[in-house]
Amino acid sequence: MLEAKGLSLSAGGRELVRALDLSLAPGQCWSLLGPNGSGKTSLIHALAGLRQPRSGAIALDGVPLASIGRKDIARRVAVLLQDEESDFWGSVLDYVLLGLYPKSGSAWSRDEESLAQARHWLAELELADRAAQAYRTLSGGERQRARVAQVLLQDSGVMLLDEPLQHLDLRHQAIVMGTLAACAAEGKTVLAALHEPGHAARHCGFAVLLYDAGRASLGRSSDMLTQANLEALYQCRLEAAGAWSFLPS
């Protein structure tokens, strides 16, 4: 259970989130929607303990996040960041295995079980035949899938994902969302910043909408993802496109 109470965030003198109360329970899959610059990344960083909130409290299973050690957080909260340095020299498998660092404290642990787990997630994300390839030689979308596989291998109870679908084609968007939803169904807590309300509606039972100027609303996706809400959220007119709105089934 990851909880925020009265959480306020600001960046560059701009208020992003004001007095947000949020409670992410095991088994729940949350989408995080909002226009560019509305604070999605800052919220994820704060929930992961990577940045100090301006005010408010964040607690992991009832314990203040700030009082939990870095490694302990990493065992319980996995984060997919939007950006990452890309000068990793090893293979795709090496890259994914770094997800075991919080558990083993060593990038050497290559016992059968961890290797099998890493290969499982690579296969799940259709990268099995890339395992031995140099990570640097992957395309943007393949890299993104490898990064998701690393977060899945981390096997933490809470997963916070900042734009997990970036660079992905339709097929792999569906695979990633399906995998995340399956993780939630197994009892993990999932929060994913998305730009596609269709995916949010299909795979996530709950949604956080971050408006400009610090306002937020949250609840069940069926209540939140209405045309009126989304028009207010993105400040643009939307049409119910019906047959034009394609999502992989």
78 near other proteins (CB under 8 A): yes
45 near other proteins (CB under 8 A): yes
Strand order in the sheet with 2-11: 14-24, 2-11, 55-60, 63-64
Helix axis angle, 140-154 to 170-185, nearest 10°: 10
* Smaller CB separation from other proteins, 18 or 40: 40
CB of 247 to other proteins, least distance (A): 30
User: Both tokens of residue 228?
Assistant: 């009126």
8 A C-beta contact, residue 54 and residue 39: no
Which residues in the 135-194 window bind other proteins by CB under 8 A?
Answer: 154
83 near other proteins (CB under 8 A): yes
**Amino acid identity for residue 82 in this structure:** Q
Site stretch for other proteins (CB under 8 A), options 17-25, 72-80, 163-171, 180-188:
72-80
CB neighbours of residue 159 within 10 Å: 25
48 near other proteins (CB under 8 A): yes
CA 207 to chain centre: 13
Site stretch for other proteins (CB under 8 A), options 9-17, 86-94, 193-201, 238-246:
86-94
CB of 46 to other proteins, least distance (A): 12
CB of 49 to other proteins, least distance (A): 8
Size of the site for other proteins (CB under 8 A): 31
Distance CA 47, CA 43 (A): 6
8 A C-beta contact, residue 96 and residue 43: no
Interacting residues toward other proteins by CB under 8 A:
45, 48-50, 70-75, 77-79, 81, 83-85, 87-90, 94, 98-99, 101-102, 105-108, 154
